[in-house]
């Protein structure tokens, strides 16, 4: 429908004659510059009429507006002014009224200032380039014979040597913008909605959803209220690692966050609320969302004191006792909150029944530091929540969850409920020394290969048999488990489901003592069952301890330390699924699986 | 007296045979060899079934006017931040620094699709503050219409840091589409028409850049700001704000899609027939040789008396 009604003519050579027919020129002295700026504008027709426009900008779908004759244009918008059509009256660089704009050659008021010009900032104003001959106003500077330069301004027709150009145009508005819809009383809202889909300030400040629900209890993810009509807050890291104190905690959303806080002890030790214990204990929670909901105080479950060196002692604390942070020394602040762990019990009605908090208070001993704080919140059911075992998958293992391990006794397998008490790996610490300091351990996670280690100083390795035993203890950890469940939900009383950890170290044959250099756990696992829900099962687990065969001095190659590594590798032994037909065709000629690709 | 060919016409010779003869067997074998091998040849030479194709389209992109800005103001890690999310701004507390932002989207070729976003951001700073790093996150509404209708909300993320405090950061880049798997050839594809940042969430974790980027990069269809040359201008005068100038273009994208059934068939048919023509010609010659020379016995029935019917 929108084929232009303009007449296209094949223009070969005969159009070259229609050049500068009515050229007006005026010459003025200026110096010569060299700058090519072309300014085009679409030649507008005088009266836009409602024809079939090929509109590329969205036209309003509202029925009430007819662009040329708006029913009742709003007073501010009114009618559109008549468009400027002739090229010589368009001067886009003429921005100062009745003052000469420098280097603006089309500015009519510039007569004397022309000698200051170096170039024309706009040297060409033309109409549509698609016309075979269109009006062009061109401005240029030229040097005359006596060294002065003069402005040559000319308005004329310029031929277009394109083969497909528009010779004459009888379609109104074909080369101009479609007339915009002027807003009226009735169409203003729909026009406004159409053109302002996104803008600043469109975010509505939403009412918290807690107040919109009818039920008295909380629902998942809702913020919990406190007795003073505030919100229960749990600091968390937001866009940076810094603690954001005003972040609320969501009901039933288990959350653990580690964030940092920059502290100057002199200034902040006793005055900064997030460092003191009662910020986290002196909270009265509302059991539900109602005004008359019961008030649940936070009970202090345990307080652990941590020294500067990192040793922890549990503190017997009576109810309501508070340990405010105290500045003992300009660079020693005691009783600073390091870890906060809330445990909330909830009822099936969505009400909070009990809140308890465990805290770790510590001493920090630097005048200015970035303090790391940990915050945890867990929700347990009112009845039977404590005994819940956190599972690593059901029935197969889930990637990224710890292995289940145990020890065989006469009655069967004994395993710990604590997820931290499982097969674990040495974790690299800042001290790096295998024989010194408390060693940190990280649980072995299913299907996650990892490596870590520590260093052994050769001067410590004098007493070989002692060092051997110490290193083995360090590498294996305290109470190393003997068995690993092949399934996550292997029962404790069915020992056949538990795999023994095979071991290559034979302590009996150690007539010449050897130092273990690495402990490597090799876990073979397989997937079976359906492709959609495969079950992961551990097939075998092997502990490979490498010991030195030559002297330690040779191994360390002159340096005084030796690195001891501890690693785990998970080897999938399951056969990968292959693409193929659901039922193999019985024709012996073998066709590739995607031979009938779009059909099957 | 020279002779010349005044006219010619082919003469049709029919060869007839009964069903249980060698000629019938030959015919069956020839038919099989004519029509099946081209299929195998076309398939084995790869690309028989077209599984991925591309088209060009300029997307309809709108800046959603959602912004998140984090600037480190010293080397110790102090920062100022601002966003268009009220919840986050409330949480930021003393770190909130409201900049002056001006935005303009341009349609340069007047085709109704925006081509360029100009964003200017002036971040006022206190005398003791300097800007060492900038993280800027902008969200866009991104639409494609030509094959399948794609409606999604996407992200542009700029991160720049320098050891020297800056006065200005200039970014000029393209908002490029990245896809992992081809789009469907028709239908509405709006699984990603969800907010990249959940601005209604009161929880700090909703604004964690880790979480935002992780869930965003999980998507099949994302946009990425390709800005290979950010310009970091040093030497900020005291009292003047830190400036971010961004020019983000919305270029024409080459989008890959999975062709529909008939498009796949069409291209397979072209390949099959072009190979089949060669086989037809070859086996036509073989058949003619076999029957003309009576290699296999068949009864030729010459044109004789043509019955005009």
Closest residue by Cα to residue A315 from A327, A323, A303: A303
Within 13 A of B133's CA, how many CA atoms are on the CB side? 14
Give the mean pLDDT of A245-263. 89
Per the model's pLDDT, the better-predicted residue between B104 and A330 turns out to be: B104
- Contact between A528 and A537 (Cβ < 8 Å): yes
C-alpha distances in angstroms, A371 versus A264, A334, B209? Answer: 10, 13, 21
Q: What is the pLDDT of residue A169?
A: 77
Q: Model ipTM? A: 0.74
Element (H, E) at A556: helix A552-556
Which residue, chain included where needed, has tokens 């803008």? A199
Asked whether residue A4 carries a pLDDT value surpassing 60, the answer given is: no
Query: What is the Cα–Cα distance from A598 to A555, expressed in whole angstroms?
Result: 62
Asked whether the beta carbons of residue B141 and residue A198 sit closer than 8 angstroms, the reply is: yes
With contacts defined as CB-CB under 8 Å, which chain A residues touch B88?
238-239
User: Which of the residue ranges A67-81, A194-208, B136-150, B156-170 would you say has the lowest mean pLDDT?
Assistant: A67-81
Compute φ and ψ for A9, nearest 5 degrees: -120, 145
**How many Å lie between the alpha carbon of B67 and the closest alpha carbon of chain A?**
10
Q: Would you place residue A35 in the very low, low, confident or very high pLDDT band (cuts 50, 70, 90)?
A: very low
- For chain B, what is the mean pLDDT? 91
Query: What is the Cα–Cα distance from A231 to B98, expressed in whole angstroms?
Result: 25
Q: Would you place residue A464 in the very low, low, confident or very high pLDDT band (cuts 50, 70, 90)?
A: confident
Interface mutation target, options A55, A56, A211, A244, chain B, most CBs of B under 10 Å: A244
| B65 in contact with chain A, both atoms CB, cutoff 8 A | yes
Q: How far is CA B304 from the centre of its chain?
A: 65
User: Which of the residue ranges A447-451, A501-505, B73-77, B79-83 would you say has the lowest mean pLDDT?
Assistant: A501-505
Give the mean pLDDT of B141-159. 93
Q: What is the pLDDT of residue A417?
A: 61
Number of residue pairs across A and B with CB atoms under 8 Å?
93
Q: Would you place residue B97 in the very low, low, confident or very high pLDDT band (cuts 50, 70, 90)?
A: very high
**How many Å lie between the alpha carbon of A245 and the closest alpha carbon of chain B?**
7
Q: Which two tokens stand for residue A153?
A: 């301004």
With contacts defined as CB-CB under 8 Å, which chain B residues touch A598?
49, 261, 264-265
Give the mean pLDDT of A117-132. 81
Q: What is the pLDDT of residue A75?
A: 59
Interface mutation target, options B115, B202, B210, B258, chain A, most CBs of A under 10 Å: B202
Which residue, chain included where needed, has tokens 């809202």? A189
Give the mean pLDDT of B129-134. 94
Per the model's pLDDT, the better-predicted residue between B121 and A24 turns out to be: B121
Beta strands at A243-244 and A326-329: parallel, antiparallel or unpaired = unpaired
pLDDT digits (tens, 9 = 90+) for A172-187: 767 777 777 777 788 8
Query: What is the Cα–Cα distance from B9 to A594, expressed in whole angstroms?
Result: 47
Helices and strands (H, E) in chain A, number of each type: 5, 28
Query: What is the Cα–Cα distance from A516 to B256, expressed in whole angstroms?
Result: 56
Per the model's pLDDT, the better-predicted residue between A537 and A366 turns out to be: A537
Asked whether the beta carbons of residue B81 and residue A592 sit closer than 8 angstroms, the reply is: no
Query: What is the Cα–Cα distance from A279 to A69, expressed in whole angstroms?
Result: 68
Q: Would you place residue A392 in the very low, low, confident or very high pLDDT band (cuts 50, 70, 90)?
A: low
With contacts defined as CB-CB under 8 Å, which chain B residues touch A239?
68, 70, 81, 88, 135, 207-209
Closest residue by Cα to residue A225 from A294, A287, A279, A292: A287
Asked whether the beta carbons of residue B265 and residue A200 sit closer than 8 angstroms, the reply is: no
pLDDT digits (tens, 9 = 90+) for A399-442: 888 888 888 777 777 776 666 677 888 888 777 888 877 778 88
Asked whether residue A171 carries a pLDDT value surpassing 90, the answer given is: no
Asked whether the beta carbons of residue B204 and residue A598 sit closer than 8 angstroms, the reply is: no
- Contact between A282 and A222 (Cβ < 8 Å): no
Give the mean pLDDT of A279-291. 86
Element (H, E) at A467: helix A464-476
Asked whether the beta carbons of residue A199 and residue B202 sit closer than 8 angstroms, the reply is: no
User: Which of the residue ranges A49-58, B142-151, B209-218, B269-278 would you say has the lowest mean pLDDT?
Assistant: A49-58
Task: Give the one of B62, B84, B207 whose C-beta lies nearest to A238's C-beta.
Answer: B207
Long-range contacts for B71-74 (Cβ within 8 Å, ≥24 apart)?
B71/B97, B71/B123, B71/B131, B71/B133, B71/B134, B71/B135, B71/B242, B72/B131, B72/B132, B72/B133, B72/B134, B72/B161, B73/B125, B73/B129, B73/B130, B73/B131, B73/B132, B74/B128, B74/B129, B74/B130, B74/B132
| A199 in contact with chain B, both atoms CB, cutoff 8 A | yes
| A579 in contact with chain B, both atoms CB, cutoff 8 A | no
Query: What is the Cα–Cα distance from A201 to A222, expressed in whole angstroms?
Result: 25
Query: What is the Cα–Cα distance from A370 to A467, expressed in whole angstroms?
Result: 38
Query: What is the Cα–Cα distance from A304 to A320, expressed in whole angstroms?
Result: 16
| B299 in contact with chain A, both atoms CB, cutoff 8 A | no
Q: Which positions ≥6 away from A475 have C-beta within 8 Å?
A: A426, A516, A519, A545, A564, A566
Asked whether the beta carbons of residue A242 and residue B199 sit closer than 8 angstroms, the reply is: no
Residue B175: strand pairing partners: B225
Task: Give the one of B49, B112, B209 whose C-beta lies nearest to A57's C-beta.
Answer: B112
C-alpha distances in angstroms, A201 versus A190, A561, B63, B100, B119? Answer: 19, 62, 13, 13, 16
Asked whether the beta carbons of residue B77 and residue A592 sit closer than 8 angstroms, the reply is: no
Query: What is the Cα–Cα distance from A133 to A158, expressed in whole angstroms?
Result: 5
With contacts defined as CB-CB under 8 Å, which chain A residues touch B66?
203
HEC string for B125-187 = CCCCCCEEEEEEEEEEEEEECCCCEEEEEEEEEEEEEEEEEEEEEEEEEEEEEEECCCECCCC
Q: What is the pLDDT of residue A51?
A: 35
- For chain A, what is the mean pLDDT? 75
Within 13 A of B160's CA, how many CA atoms are on the CB side? 21
**How many Å lie between the alpha carbon of B43 and the closest alpha carbon of chain A?**
8
Element (H, E) at A570: strand A561-572
| A367 in contact with chain B, both atoms CB, cutoff 8 A | no
Asked whether residue A48 carries a pLDDT value surpassing 70, the answer given is: no
Element (H, E) at B29: helix B22-44
Q: Which two tokens stand for residue B77?
A: 């890690």
HEC string for B224-284 = EEECCCCEEEECCCCCCCEEEEEEEECCCEEEEECCCHHHHHHHHHHHHHHHHHHHHHHHH
Q: What is the pLDDT of residue A36?
A: 41
Q: What is the pLDDT of residue B308?
A: 53
DSSP A25: -
Q: Which positions ≥6 away from A133 have C-beta within 8 Å?
A: A15, A18, A157, A158, A159, A160
Element (H, E) at B71: strand B60-72
Per the model's pLDDT, the better-predicted residue between B192 and A489 turns out to be: B192
C-alpha distances in angstroms, B12 versus A461, A503, B291, B306, B309? Answer: 104, 88, 13, 10, 15
pLDDT digits (tens, 9 = 90+) for A196-206: 778 777 655 44
Of A75-89, A116-130, A192-206, B20-34, the range with the highest mean pLDDT is B20-34
Query: What is the Cα–Cα distance from A359 to B153, expressed in whole angstroms?
Result: 42
- Contact between A323 and A195 (Cβ < 8 Å): no
- The pTM score is 0.75
Q: What is the pLDDT of residue A61?
A: 39
Q: Would you place residue B54 in the very low, low, confident or very high pLDDT band (cuts 50, 70, 90)?
A: very high
Closest residue of chain B to A595, computed from CA coordinates: B43
Q: Would you place residue A506 in the very low, low, confident or very high pLDDT band (cuts 50, 70, 90)?
A: low
Per the model's pLDDT, the better-predicted residue between A557 and B277 turns out to be: B277
With contacts defined as CB-CB under 8 Å, which chain B residues touch A231?
202
Asked whether residue A260 carries a pLDDT value surpassing 50, the answer given is: yes
Asked whether the beta carbons of residue A208 and residue B112 sit closer than 8 angstroms, the reply is: no
Asked whether the beta carbons of residue B208 and residue A598 sit closer than 8 angstroms, the reply is: no
**How many Å lie between the alpha carbon of B295 and the closest alpha carbon of chain A?**
31
In A152-285, which residue ranges form alpha helices assigned H by DSSP?
Answer: 188-195, 265-268, 278-281
Q: Which positions ≥6 away from A505 have C-beta within 8 Å?
A: A472, A516, A543, A545, A547
Helix/strand/coil for A473:
helix
Give the mean pLDDT of B57-68. 93
With contacts defined as CB-CB under 8 Å, which chain A residues touch B62?
197-198
Closest residue by Cα to residue A323 from A310, A340, A309, A305: A305
| A57 in contact with chain B, both atoms CB, cutoff 8 A | yes
Closest residue of chain B to A255, computed from CA coordinates: B205
Closest residue of chain A to B61, computed from CA coordinates: A198
C-alpha distances in angstroms, A310 versus A167, A330, A368, A470, B32? Answer: 90, 20, 19, 22, 84
Closest residue of chain B to A237, computed from CA coordinates: B204
Asked whether residue B22 carries a pLDDT value surpassing 60, the answer given is: yes
Asked whether residue A45 carries a pLDDT value surpassing 70, the answer given is: no
| B140 in contact with chain A, both atoms CB, cutoff 8 A | no
| B265 in contact with chain A, both atoms CB, cutoff 8 A | yes
Asked whether residue A451 carries a pLDDT value surpassing 60, the answer given is: yes
Asked whether residue A42 carries a pLDDT value surpassing 50, the answer given is: no
Q: What is the largest CA-CA distance in chain B?
A: 116
Q: What percent of chain B has pLDDT over 90?
A: 75
Per the model's pLDDT, the better-predicted residue between A585 and A112 turns out to be: A112
| B264 in contact with chain A, both atoms CB, cutoff 8 A | yes
Compute φ and ψ for A577, nearest 5 degrees: -70, 140
Asked whether the beta carbons of residue A203 and residue B84 sit closer than 8 angstroms, the reply is: yes
Asked whether residue A161 carries a pLDDT value surpassing 50, the answer given is: yes
C-alpha distances in angstroms, A579 versus A318, A506, A592? Answer: 66, 46, 10
Which residue, chain included where needed, has tokens 């208070």? A361
Asked whether residue A524 carries a pLDDT value surpassing 60, the answer given is: yes
Asked whether residue A194 carries a pLDDT value surpassing 50, the answer given is: yes
- Contact between A237 and A243 (Cβ < 8 Å): yes
Q: Would you place residue B252 in the very low, low, confident or very high pLDDT band (cuts 50, 70, 90)?
A: very high
Closest residue of chain B to A207, computed from CA coordinates: B200
Q: What is the pLDDT of residue B255?
A: 95
Q: What percent of chain A has pLDDT over 70?
A: 77
With contacts defined as CB-CB under 8 Å, which chain A residues touch B95?
242
| Burial classification of residue A482, based on how many CB atoms lie within 10 Å of its CB (0-12 exposed, 13-18 middle, 19 or more buried) | middle
Q: What is the pLDDT of residue A210?
A: 44
């Amino acid at each position: 429908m929108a084929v232009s009604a303009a007449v296209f003519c094949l223009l070969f050579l005969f159009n070259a004659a229609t050049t500068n027919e009515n050229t007006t020129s005026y010459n003025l002295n200026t110096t010569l510059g060299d700058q090519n700026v072309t300014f085009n504008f679409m030649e507008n027709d005088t009266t836009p009429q409602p024809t079939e426009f090929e509109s590329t900008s969205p036209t309003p779908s509202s029925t009430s507006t007819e662009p040329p004759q708006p029913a009742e244009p709003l007073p501010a918008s009114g009618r559109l002014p008549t468009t400027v059509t002739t090229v010589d009256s368009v001067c886009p660089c003429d921005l100062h009224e009745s003052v000469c704009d420098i280097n603006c050659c089309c500015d009519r008021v510039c007569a004397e200032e022309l000698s200051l010009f170096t170039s024309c900032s706009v040297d060409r104003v033309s109409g549509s380039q698609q016309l075979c001959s269109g009006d062009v106003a061109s401005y240029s500077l030229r040097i005359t014979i006596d060294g002065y330069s003069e402005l040559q301004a000319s308005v004329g027709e310029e031929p277009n040597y394109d083969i497909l150009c528009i010779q004459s145009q009888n379609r109104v508005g074909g080369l101009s913008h479609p007339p915009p819809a002027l807003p009226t009383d009735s169409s203003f809202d729909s026009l406004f909605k159409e053109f302002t889909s996104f803008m600043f300030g469109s975010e509505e400040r939403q009412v918290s959803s807690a107040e919109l629900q009818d039920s008295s209890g909380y629902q998942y993810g809702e913020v919990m209220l406190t007795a003073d009509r505030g919100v229960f807050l749990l600091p968390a890291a937001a866009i940076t690692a810094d603690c954001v104190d005003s972040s609320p905690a969501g009901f039933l959303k288990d959350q653990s966050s580690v964030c940092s806080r920059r502290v100057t002890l002199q200034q902040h030790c006793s005055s900064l609320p997030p460092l003191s214990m009662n910020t986290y204990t002196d909270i009265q929670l509302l059991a539900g969302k109602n005004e008359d909901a019961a008030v649940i105080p936070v009970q202090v479950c345990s307080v652990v004191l941590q020294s500067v060196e990192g040793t922890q002692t549990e503190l017997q604390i009576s109810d309501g006792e508070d340990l405010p942070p105290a500045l003992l020394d300009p660079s020693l602040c005691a009783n600073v909150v390091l870890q906060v762990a809330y445990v909330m019990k909830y009822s099936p009605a969505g009400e909070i029944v009990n809140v308890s908090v465990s805290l770790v208070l510590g001493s920090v001993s630097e005048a200015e530091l970035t303090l790391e704080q940990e915050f945890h919140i867990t929700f347990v059911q009112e009845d039977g929540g404590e005994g819940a075992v956190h599972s690593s998958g059901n029935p197969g293992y889930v990637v990224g969850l710890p292995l289940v391990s145990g020890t065989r006794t006469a009655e069967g397998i004994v395993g710990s409920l604590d997820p931290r008490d499982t097969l674990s790996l040495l974790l690299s610490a800042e001290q790096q020394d295998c024989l010194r300091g408390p060693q940190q351990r990280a649980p072995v996670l299913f299907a996650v290969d990892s490596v870590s280690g520590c260093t052994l100083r050769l001067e410590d390795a004098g007493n070989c048999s002692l060092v051997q035993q110490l290193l083995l203890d360090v590498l294996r950890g305290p109470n190393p488990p003997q068995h690993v469940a092949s399934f996550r939900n292997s029962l404790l009383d069915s020992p056949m489901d538990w795999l023994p950890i095979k071991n290559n170290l034979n302590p009996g044959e150690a007539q010449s003592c050897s130092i273990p250099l690495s402990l490597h756990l090799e876990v073979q696992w397989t997937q079976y069952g359906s492709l959609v829900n495969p079950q992961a099962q551990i097939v075998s687990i092997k502990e490979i301890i490498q010991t030195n065969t030559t002297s330690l001095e040779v191994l360390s190659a002159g340096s005084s330390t030796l690195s001891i590594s501890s690693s785990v590798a998970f080897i999938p032994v399951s056969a990968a699924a292959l693409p193929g037909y659901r039922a193999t065709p019985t024709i012996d000629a073998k066709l590739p699986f995607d031979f009938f690709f779009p059909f099957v | 007296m020279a002779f010349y060919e005044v006219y010619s016409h082919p003469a049709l010779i029919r060869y007839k045979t009964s069903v249980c003869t060698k000629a019938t067997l030959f015919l069956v074998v020839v038919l099989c060899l004519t029509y099946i091998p081209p299929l195998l040849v076309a398939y084995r030479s790869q690309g028989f079934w077209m599984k991925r194709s591309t088209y060009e389209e300029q997307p309809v992109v709108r800046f959603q006017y959602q912004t998140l800005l984090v600037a480190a103001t010293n080397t110790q890690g102090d920062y100022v931040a601002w966003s268009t999310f009220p919840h986050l701004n409330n949480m930021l507390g003393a770190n909130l620094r409201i900049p002056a932002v001006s935005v303009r989207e341009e349609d340069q070729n007047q085709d109704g699709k925006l081509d360029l976003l100009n964003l200017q951001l002036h971040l006022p700073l206190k005398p003791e503050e300097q800007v060492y790093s900038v993280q800027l996150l902008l969200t866009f509404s991104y639409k494609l219409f030509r094959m399948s209708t794609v409606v999604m909300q996407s992200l542009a993320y700029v991160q720049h840091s320098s050891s020297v405090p800056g006065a200005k950061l200039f970014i000029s880049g393209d908002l490029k589409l990245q896809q992992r798997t081809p789009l469907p050839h028709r239908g509405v594809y709006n699984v990603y028409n969800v907010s990249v940042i959940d601005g209604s969430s009161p929880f700090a974790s909703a604004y964690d850049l880790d979480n935002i980027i992780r869930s965003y990069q999980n998507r099949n269809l994302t946009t990425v700001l390709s800005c290979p040359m950010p310009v970091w201008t040093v030497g900020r005068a005291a009292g003047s704000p830190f400036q971010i100038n961004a020019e983000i273009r919305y270029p024409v994208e080459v989008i890959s899609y999975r062709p529909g059934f008939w498009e796949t068939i069409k291209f397979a048919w072209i390949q099959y027939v072009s190979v089949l023509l060669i086989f037809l010609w070859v086996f036509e010659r073989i058949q003619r040789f076999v029957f003309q020379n009576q290699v296999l016995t068949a009864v030729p029935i010459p044109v004789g008396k043509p019955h005009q019917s």
